[in-house]
Structure 1
Amino acid sequence: MTDVLPAGQGGPLIVAAALVREGAFFAARRTYPPTLAGLWEFPGGKCEPGEDAHTALRRECREELGVEIAVHDEVRPGPDAGPGAASGAGSAERADGPQGAAGDWAGWTLANGLRMRVFRASLLTGEPRLTDAHDDGAWLPLDPAALEVPWIPADVPIVERLLALWARQTARGPGR
Structure 2
Amino acid sequence: MSVLEPALRSLTDALLEAVRRQDWAVADAELETLAQAAVAAVVANRTDDLAALARLVARCHTALSLAEELGGEAMHRLGQLRALALMIAAARGRTPPRPADALRAPGTPAAAILSALGSGPQTCPALVEATGLSAEEVGSALPELRAAGLVHSWPAGRLTVNALRTG
TM-score, length basis structure 1: 0.24
Question: Between Structure 1 and Structure 2, which shows a larger proportion of helix residues?
Answer: 2
Name which structure has the greater RCO, CA cutoff 8 Å, separation 6+.
1
Q: Which has the larger radius of gyration?
A: 2
Q: What's the TM-score once normalised by structure 2's chain length?
A: 0.25
